[in-house]
Structure 1
Amino acid sequence: MMEMKSRFEEESGAQKTEIAALKKQLNKAEEEIAKLRGDAAALGKSVGEFGSIVKEKAFPNPEPQITAAKVVEEVKRTVSQVVDEQVWETVERKSRVRSIRITGLEETPGEDPNCVKDKVIALFRDRMKIANAADLVETAARVGQKKQADGHPRTVLVKVLSEQGKRRILMAKPRLRGLQVGVDEDRTPRQQAEHFRLVKLMKDARAEKKHARIVGGRLFVNGVLDLFLCLAYLPPDGSTWYQQIGTSIEEIFEQVTQDAAVAMSLGEVLLAGDLNARTSSFCDWLDMGDIELFAGVSDVESSGELEFTPPRASEDKVVNRAGRLLLEFCKAADCRILNGRVQGDEAGSATCFPAGGGSSLVDVFVASASLAQQADKLVVSDALPDSDHRMVTLGLRVGDQLLQEKKARTKADASLTGPKFSKVKEEGIPVFKAMLANSTELQALAENLEAMGPGEAATVLENAIRSAGLCAFPSPSSRKEFATRSPIWFDGECKAVRKRFLDALKAGGASHLSSQLKKEYRKIVRRKKRAFNKYRAAKLEDQMQNSPASFWKQFQKRAQGLGREHEAGLLKHCQSLYSQSETGLASAGVQQREKRRARQGGRAEESLEVAITEAEVKTALRSLKNGKSPDLGGFTAELLKAGEDHLLQVLTGTFNRVFDEGVFPDSWNEGALVAIFKKGDPADYGNYRTVTVGPVLGKLYAAVVNRRLTEWAEKEQVRARGQAGFRKGFRGADHMLALRVLTERWGR
């Protein structure tokens, strides 16, 4: 009896335990159901509607036994059908925020999937010129079906480590012009449809002669880029505020630099506020070409000729630690301090007058370089009640006013300068030759040359060369290149430490190890920057002591100019000089031609009037000097020499049309006139000498004609026997020797 009782108690206890576990599961299921009901309510569905949906969808045929787990599963499935598709669209967009699609990347038969990442890194590094490309790519894999018989490679889906890295890659897309490779964002189907819609609207707007562009997924028609405004206050250096939040003023400026790089890829940046940064009138922009000279670094890409930056004045002659960091920020982010260089505040007035006496300039406006050109007026107010700071007001030219100015400036620039090519490089020459070989314009020119006039033939020839040159040698990037180029002092040691930090962050997320590596990375970066600045100062001091002339020639401040009125006056002076010379030359030229025709025989006409041959053009082309400035069309001698095989025939045909018709194309008569200051008073126009950069095609034609005339003159002995100037094999020393011999002979 006792045994049966104990057994019963054991079975009863087990049942109670099982019932308790079931109750827990039921309570958990009820909690999940309640949570799902709350989610449904948040989406605008009432509890009653949700219950009816659950009843219809989850239990169309009620079963006698339904577990709590099945209820939860069915409820989850139903909620997923009820949720608005916008939620899933948002989730999908977030999953693609660090993804990039590459089309047209070469795919070899039996390609190893592990080699795709190496190909992507090579594309970013070699073709798109992205520094530290290996540190940007996380994964890369091909998507879609296997390569088909038509030879089209599959799309490559690339996952980068950060959104900033993605921006750097997309900003370098223009360097892929002329290639069959495309790099673009990984968009959702809805985003792709919206992008195509915006592209169509942009094309329609441009067809109506409107200014339209797409930036950051938005269409701008007759407008300007977004303005990213940052209002900030930084406590003075040494304040306990930095210790309380566990940071330093260096880390704050480093973060601001990174944020500015991202913002400038989408629009303009304006930083304003009391930064407690005293910068005096020190230079806030950096000439990478000068640094390349004295730093002795050969692998730095020069950013080219910077736009004119007006000097900056300041009544504050002190530079503090925050001021030096602000100057470094301006140089790294390509920004300008507006105080002291905008109309209304030419003197750089002080903005802070403490009660203890003294003054300082700490309330500043800092703008991106392109936005700084739109600054119209900056005014520092008088003293304000209950404040030791002055109010600073900035005016910007925006909207239609700025657009009209840009259109006028663009039209003026377009009338003077053509598209800019980058330097002719070996890797682009095959592309240039291929573009010329397949050029429909050159084919049409060769077929219809006899029916064209000289001017029309020259225009078609120039357009064909220009199109091929832009594809093979695209122009360099704009001011945003600073975001894709590592600083000079950022060497292999910095890259190794950063790679360890990124690897730790990718492997374990934010952890103690990644935190330590981050501190180590920042420490070495600060150390490298300080060492580089010391090295730069030592090099400058050494050059100043040992070679003062070279020092001032390379590192003196750019000429500040004498204002727009002086430039306009100098332009009128040059125009008057050339108009006088053209009139004199024209009248003299008519008289000389009449005299030559009177004494010229038929023998000369027969030898000089024959058609120009390809051999003559080839010889003249190879005689052109390399390394000269490009003409108004952007052409150089190196560009024509790179396409010699495909251009020789059409060049010869075009030259013969010009030679036969006696009509020189207008574009071959246009040149860039440069006024060079020699010495004396800069305000005196007579102290400037002009140099003209002529058209390369016109130079080539002139070289052909000049060589023919020279050979004829030497053969026919037309030149005077004593002439030594402009003759091959003669020089001024010949006359000096003859004069000395005669003097010595008569002296005896």
Structure 2
Amino acid sequence: MRMVKKLGGWKQKLWKGDKLELLLFGIPRDMTRIEFKNCCDREGLHCLARGQVGREHEHFRVKLTKGDSQECLGVDIEKLSNYVRKFGWRVCIANMIETEKVRRQEARAAEAKKGPSRAVEQASQKKSEKKRKANDGVRKISNREKRKLRVGSWNVCGFARSERKRLEIVDQVEQSDLDVVGIQETWELKDGDVVSKLGKYRWVGKARKGLDPKKRGEGGVGFLVKEHLFDVVEVVVKTEFEESLWLKIPGERGEKDLFLGNVYVPPSSKKVASKAQENFGQIGEDVQRFSRKGEVVMVGDFNSRVGKASSRGQAIGQHGEDKVNDNGVRMLEFLGSNELMVLNGRRECDKPEFTRQRAVCNEYSILDYILVDRGSTQIPELHVSAIDIGSTDHFLIWANIDRSRKIKSKKQRKVFRWKVERLGDDGTRDEFQKGLAGSVESFRKLLRSVEDGQVDVQAAGDRVIEGWESIVNATAERVVGTKVVRCGVSVKWWDDELKEEIGERREVFKQYLSEASEESWEKYRAKRKQVKGLVKKKKKCIWDEVVQKANGGLEGNVKQMWEGISGMVKKTAQGGDTGVATLRGVNGGLVSSGKGKREVLAGHYKRLGVPSENEAFDQAFKKEVDAWAQKEEETSKADVGNVELEKEFTEDEVEACVNKLKCHKAAGADGIVNEFMKFGGKGMIQLMVLLYNWVWKNEYTPSRWREGVVVNLFKKGDKTDPGNYRGITLLNTVGKVFCKLLNDRIVGVLEKEHSISEGQAGFRKKRGCVDHVFTVGRIIQGRKRAGKPTYCFFLDVKKAYDTVWRNGLWKQLSKYGIKGKMWRVLKKMTECTKSAVMLDGELSKFFDIEQGVPQGCTLSPTLFQVFINDLLEVVEAVRKGVKVGDTETSVSGMLFADDFVGMSDTPEGLQLQIDAAKKFTDKWRLSANVQKSAVMVCNENKEEPVEHRWKWGIEEIAVVDQYTYLGVEIAKDCSWNAHMSKVAKRGKARAGKLHPILANRHLDTRIKLTVLKSVIVPPLEYAGEVWEGNK
């Protein structure tokens, strides 16, 4: 290699002016820039450690200046190349690469400045004319565009404090067209894990820990995220620094993921100096963690004044303020150690762009920042918007981050609903009934043509279902009609008059900022007070309308009355959103987007719908039952079955089921609501009888009747766990009536034959939860009076309905006399079912359910009763129950749906009962939730406490002092103190929530009594027959 003059070890001819750029390949993907620099420093490559380092996809780009290169101490390019190979790296010069790129850019710029040639211009004009003619009269609007990510930050001093402020903030953010805005000082009292919709944005927040719920909130951070973006982001709640929240925005087309952090650093003081140092240390740990996974951008109120830089290329700008505070010193250290820089103060202007101002007090400061990677090739420009929302002295700041995304604009969802209220009019109802009656004969002709021409039952059934639905829907469309319901939350008092008043207040605010006088401040205060008064006045008008609506419904329109009461409850309730929270996926990560949560829930229910294997399950019995079920499919056709079950349906049967239907319920996929069946008259009943008898005769189950939409209700526990939500399956209404007909026949036969054990009380006529709890309570208290202890075992079956073994269910049905056609129809109605999860008004993909019975189907409780009935038999066979009074009657266990309680008079006897129950669940492939199951020793001898430990297989069962059984607290000392305390607490909470209604002078007293008797009293009186006051 020819020796030439070197400057710090690099050949002079390789330099481009004062700069030299290198590309290093083969560096591990998870190595951060800071780790790279530390490695270079440790290995003596000081020039690389001093250079400006940035990651570009799979390699690092290092920019050196002549001063940096002096640290190389004579190492030339060949020696450096050989040296870095021991790390598995490769190095090359990048100056020429960039020179070529710059040359192309300069050529394009020169061509643009010169203008296109005449030939090119003519070709372009012809192309534009051709395109215009092709699209003449057609206006195409693309719903996808690509643009940079617009990120903002705003300390609003009380986002959760008032609805008016939230609406103003969202309105201003929307006008600024920001994609993501970090909000500080939200003053929330609890985490906003449940994502709420605010205009075109979604809100998710994180409250400061340890706040007193009775006082005003403090601190807290959150994000406003545009809906189109929220479908892809993930919320990262768990961080080292508590008062921070992070979003993960996936990269597109090979780009790294973007981690956007939002922090609020409290002001520093001498008392909390060490805490302030700890805060920045924890934020640094979060930055290091996320920088290993992608690119980091931070926004927030750091309460730090960092001063200004003396030259370009530093972590702070040259055009900031002069002052530096204690937090500012720590923030400068934080920026240096984490290779970050602030966007503030980089634009040359007459005076610093302050982010917080109190003009009347002459207080100006820069406390709010946007931070980006110091190795960024392009530095975004920061914008400061002096927007007034009536309470904060901080300004909105934002910047265009160099991260382009495809944006899919969402259209407002329209929902068409039937005008069922018209069926309340006698004339409309008569016309509807006549229309259906006139279609009965045409439906009969359809059935005859199908039977004559179709051989395939499935194809014939599809024609029958479509014909029946078209008759009902066509008649309803002609007589009843539809209306459009626009989805979304609207606030009536947020009208044009109020917006105009707020606009005037903002103009006064601008005048105050420019003049900074006491007079302009007082003028602004007066205007602000005027706006608050107008908001209060408008809210009162809305409240009066709600009260008037409730009073108006007192004379007969009960639905209107309850709508008014419901409106008042919503306006007075301060509770959080009741929707589905941020969920934890299979990999343990938190998912907050609507699409992501639908996928998590769908995956959860899909896994529940797949039969699981357990080592304890009886495999030999499974093989036996599976073989029987396969054989029974054919042999059952020769089985006549019970005559009561096999006969065709009558009009009386159908009419009895229809009369039990409730109004104002959601329609199925066919759009047919309960009101059509209830008010359809004789014609509707005849149409339903014809349809059901054809389905029954041909043993055909429509696919629509087997498709369910799952909605989720939170039970208790961790909101991020999908298992803590109860999935309710919404089914086709016409199919539900058919299932109700089947259920009534089955129940009639089972009760007539006394097939169901007397110990089962769930979903049986003239039996209920209170009867069950009454029996358990009286047995325990009676034995206490006799000085005898009672050993109780409460079994919690895990996902009982969802995990029913279907072949086992068919075996049990056959055992209890459900055979022949009824057996085959039930099998077809339950098998081949599909479900989809409904969330935020959208459906997930449908997935197959291979086990279980759907919660929401009228058949499911009865089928589960039959399936689990033998549990009581196997426990009673142990003969270790408790005797009732002085009689020889003994009770070993009781069952209400999947809630089982076993009782014995000895510890050993209870263990035998537990072993018998364990053997039953293993045989019939049910799983116990041992963590939620418990043993309780009632009336225990305090001098000789029981030391026995009970086990479910190899797992130990917890021994508790009280247990909630069917909503009633049962205590080991047989008192009702715990239950009464719980009931009283619940009653106080409801009374407090409804106090504004009960104390409203304008609301009719009769409505207040209705609310009192219907909402507050029932929970207080629940199971009042069981418990009694202390004597």
Query: TM bucket by the smaller chain?
Result: 0.3 to 0.5
What TM-score results when the alignment is normalised by the length of structure 2?
0.30
TM-score, structure 1 normalization: 0.40
Q: Which has the higher helix share?
A: 1
